[in-house]
Amino acid sequence: MAPTLLASPRPAPTGSDGGGGTAATARPAPAAGTVDAAAAAVTAAFVAAGVPVTKVGATRTDTVVSVTDGGAELLPGGDVRALRDLWEATSFELERQQAAPACVAEEQAGLASRVGPTYALTFTPAPTPAAVMASAAKVKVAVIREEGSNGDREMAAALHLAGLDPWDVATSDLAAGRVSLADFRGAVFVGGFSYADVLDSAKGWAAVVRYRAAVRDEVEAFLTRPDTWSLGVCNGCQLLALLGVVPFGPVERVPSPAQPRFIHNASGRFESRWSAVRIADSPSVLLRGMGGSVLGVWSAHGEGKAHFPDASVLDAVRAGGLAAVAYVDDGGDPTTAYPANPNGSVDGIAALTTPDGRHLAMMPHPERAAQLWQWPYLPAGRREGLAASPWLRMFQNARTWCEGEDA
């Protein structure tokens, strides 16, 4: 299926680029007649209500800001980008006190050239069929949490909306033998701050899995079963990396010193942003049929920078198409530029999958955008054209894979 643009490319205006960088583009304006008619209707409504009204300005399709008084231009050569830079200057000075100055400078220099994300869809999102939702024989998924996890409820909701049967499983349940992963086809290691991340992100959780025999045996047996899938999001993504599950799977683990992992953001601080990502054509069973799509998604992490101590491992990831999701710029291309890439990951890497596609570790939060009302931004008129959030497809893919259906 050819990509469907969710935000059409916008024509570039004339004039200065605002001091370094590519000239910004302007959004297409409504036809002049439409604007004039709307203005006349509003004016008439005010007049009919006895409210004095005077038209004082109008929008433009370029970047010029013109303010006149009696014919005299009050802002000679006014450019909205230069004025915005002036307005934001104080804020950026404050930013330099709380984030890496190089990242702040990069964001400040790029502000004039920002045009907003251009989303694209290579599939048609659809709600889960009513018959699936009503079924009494749903696929069971363990939503695994640890002390400090906070993404379990949102994840359970996303799985439920896809027609799956989510179960709340604490790591302590596995340790005590109260729950066995042998009863599940899917497992999701959720986001949050396990053990408050005091040992670095997910290291406390990873230690429990590695060194608590009952937990280790349960997790290892589950991951190596050929009929299972797993997803690690944010803290869970960091966990799967520390356990060596990604990028090559739970059997072909990379030796510990060379194991890829997720480290502190290049900005030096926690980043909570609505980011744009491109889904690659990869082996991931959860992302089947979604390759080539560019979507918005929530990012919320302090340690999300993909780090490859061994360059040969990164080369193998690239060669195998195992970087399943990447942060992208406004043109939809993978980027390392801040803030489009909130953490500085090489190649914009936001997710890693295994060669068999059964295990996916992803830093952004698709479960926090599984319903359309959770998207803070969609281009005008596009929300009404979607029957479901595009991210719901990811969880539906998990169900159809378990049921042996084609994506």
For residue 277, give the 3-state DSSP assignment: strand
Q: Report, at the CATH architecture level, how domain 120-402 is classified.
A: 3-Layer(aba) Sandwich (3.40)
* Residue 19 Cα distances to 12, 82, 83, 271, angstroms: 16, 8, 11, 27
Q: d(Cα 45, Cα 48) in Å, to the nearest integer?
A: 5
Residue 88: partners with Cβ closer than 8 Å, 6 or more residues away: 108, 111
For residue 295, give the 3-state DSSP assignment: strand
Give the active site residue among 106, 301, 367, 402.
367
Give the active site residue among 234, 301, 359, 402.
234
Tens digit of each residue's pLDDT, the chain (407 residues): 555 555 444 433 333 333 333 333 344 455 666 778 888 999 999 999 999 998 888 888 889 999 999 889 998 878 999 999 999 999 999 999 999 999 999 999 999 999 999 999 999 999 999 999 999 999 999 999 999 999 999 999 999 999 999 999 999 999 999 999 999 999 999 999 999 999 999 999 999 999 999 999 999 999 999 999 999 999 999 999 999 999 999 999 999 899 999 999 999 999 999 999 999 999 999 999 999 999 999 999 999 999 999 999 999 999 999 999 999 999 999 999 999 999 999 999 999 999 999 999 999 999 999 999 999 999 888 888 899 999 999 999 999 999 996 54
Q: Which pLDDT belongs to residue 379?
A: 85
Q: Which pLDDT belongs to residue 25?
A: 38
Instruction: Tell me the whole-structure pTM to 2 decimals.
Output: 0.88
Angle between helices 235-242 and 203-211 (to 10 degrees): 50
Residue 103 falls in the annotated catalytic set:
no
The domain locations on the chain are 120-402
* Residue 182 Cα distances to 98, 137, 214, 219, angstroms: 46, 17, 13, 10
Give the active site residue among 264, 301, 359, 365.
365
Residue 359 falls in the annotated catalytic set:
no
For residue 72, give the 3-state DSSP assignment: strand
Residue 234 falls in the annotated catalytic set:
yes
* Residue 25 Cα distances to 113, 314, 329, 331, 339, angstroms: 8, 35, 14, 12, 19
